[in-house]
Amino acid sequence: MCGAANVRSDTPWCASRVRAITPPEIVAVPADREQLAAILKLATAEKFTVTPVGGGTKRNCGGIARRVDLAVSTERMQRVIDYPASDLTITVEAGITIRALRETLAQHGQMLPLDVTCLNDATLGGTLAANLSGPQRLGYGGWRDVVIGIQFVTADGRLAKGGGRVVKNVAGYDLPKLLIGSFGTLGIITEVSLKVFPIPPATGTFVFGFSSIAAATEVTHAILNSPFFPQSLELLDAAAGALAGVTGTCTSPYIVFVSVAGPQVVVDRASNDLPKLLRGNGCLFSQAITDGSQDRLWNSLSDMTSAYLRAQPAGVAIKASLPLLQLTAFIGEAKQLAEDAQLSTASGAHAGTGIVYQYLWPEGADRGPEGGDRAIEKLPRVAEQIVSLAERLGGRATVEWFPLAYDGKLNPWGKLGDDFPLMQRIKSALDPHGTLNPSRFYGGI
């Protein structure tokens, strides 16, 4: 179907990329969506289970599949299909890496403002199937706001699409919305059309340090209610700052990072006016960065989750989404829950959108062979408590990243909503045999 050379038997490759108790031994590498469709037709006929693989960076992300028979890699599907730069749109194949996509756009002074973790290896398809976003979501929105069309192959091998290549379009159901964040359970994304954005002429980054979470959130709210519309507004505790490697910039217990972009006059005014918002707010530290070192700083902030997972392979990352006014309570109480159980924790919040990454990992005595068992006992319990905390505060949360070791010991999904049965019905309508990524998704879908 895709040529013998493009079907490999490669157990280690599969085991290091596919999140399954029994990973596949075989990986197929189709050259295009027609080949991919033929593979899925065969899989349906033979009742194989299939997992799509992009950069293989999400092996610790999402639910865990039981048994997967075949991996399908999108590594040969990296073409730029259509890039009418002056229309500010691009259409590319889903296997392109986020880095390559950024480089293509940068040649035209444009950008995709979705900063994602694992930038180097992550593919577009995988990242949007996982619905990962980062700091600039505040200024530009998430995948649901920039994707204008998606082509995909259905579980039974049909070529389908939704949306198109223009920035405004309401013809037919918005299938792209359904596929974003669907974790490869409804179809395999093969081609994506996106809105892209001009790189702003000037950008300024402002770093403020505080002694308490309350003082920090008071300032983030003041910034959100100021005339500035920041691109990004991040709030890290010192532990998260250390994970991201940004404590060289500021060592305060809570650090706020703001970026403001536009014509130079806007950055100048922010340099002048933003520090004024801090008055009387217990600010320990204030710095403006307007040179090239900003990029490095924001890359570190965007990549915080993968840096954390490398440093703490036994740790979990909870993604909580909260009403803005509940950030203080959530960050404070989550820290308390972790400390009570003698676990280490760190909070990295996108303070303008209410999305918080709460990291939780075993420390000192709970590491190593014996301590590991203890951690396996208590860490899931605390993670679930933090998820419930988010729900109690009017938000939602899941344990987005956790190692295979917690399989069966952790409910990563929180309380299922009353829309869950509808989701199950959508899954069975589009993938009646459970071919794609079984039990990898919300509630075990």
Output 24 or 142, the one with its CB closest to other proteins: 142
Nearer to other proteins, 3 or 432 (CB): 432
DSSP-derived letter for residue 185 is S
Cβ(427)–Cβ(155) below 8 Å: no
- Of 235, 176, 228, 178, nearest to 209 by C-alpha is 235
Sign of CA dihedral 118, 442, 342, 209: positive
Provide the minimum distance between the beta carbon of 157 and other proteins in the complex, in angstroms, as a whole number.
10
Q: How far is the CB of 168 from other proteins (least distance, A)?
A: 4
Nearer to other proteins, 159 or 242 (CB): 159
* C-alpha neighbours within 13 Å on the C-beta side of residue 360: 35
Q: Which is nearer to other proteins, 16 or 272 (CB)?
A: 272
Closer of 371 and 434 to other proteins (Cβ) = 434
Shortest distance in whole angstroms from residue 89 CB to other proteins: 7
Residue whose pair of structure tokens reads 């309350």 in the numeric block: 214
Angle at the Cα of 21 from the Cα atoms of 374 and 35, rounded to 5 degrees: 150
The minimum distance between CB 71 and other proteins, in angstroms, equals 23
Q: Which is nearer to other proteins, 8 or 396 (CB)?
A: 396
Q: How far is the CB of 134 from other proteins (least distance, A)?
A: 13
b/e 297-322 (16+ beta carbons within 10 angstroms → b):
bbebbbbbbbbbbeebebbbbbbbeb
Task: Supply the minimum distance, in Å, between the C-beta of residue 422 and other proteins.
Answer: 6
Asked if residues 152 and 179 have their Cβ atoms less than 8 Å apart, the reply is: yes
- Give whichever of 66 and 158 is closer to other proteins, judged by the CB atom: 158
Q: Which is nearer to other proteins, 50 or 148 (CB)?
A: 148
Q: Which is nearer to other proteins, 6 or 321 (CB)?
A: 321
Least CB distance to other proteins at residue 379 (A) = 20
Q: Using CA atoms, how far apart are residues 107 and 105, in angstroms rounded to an integer?
A: 5
User: Cα separation of 357 and 320, whole Å?
Assistant: 6
Query: What would the two tokens of residue 298 be?
Result: 């924001």
Query: 115-125 b/e with 16+ CB inside 10 Å = b?
Result: bbbbbeebbbb
CB of 286 to other proteins, least distance (A): 20
Which tokens belong to 410? 């952790």
What crossing angle do the helices spanning 304-311 and 293-302 adopt, rounded to 10°? 60
CB 280 within 8 A of CB 287: no
Rounded to a whole number of angstroms, the minimum distance from the CB of residue 14 to other proteins is: 27
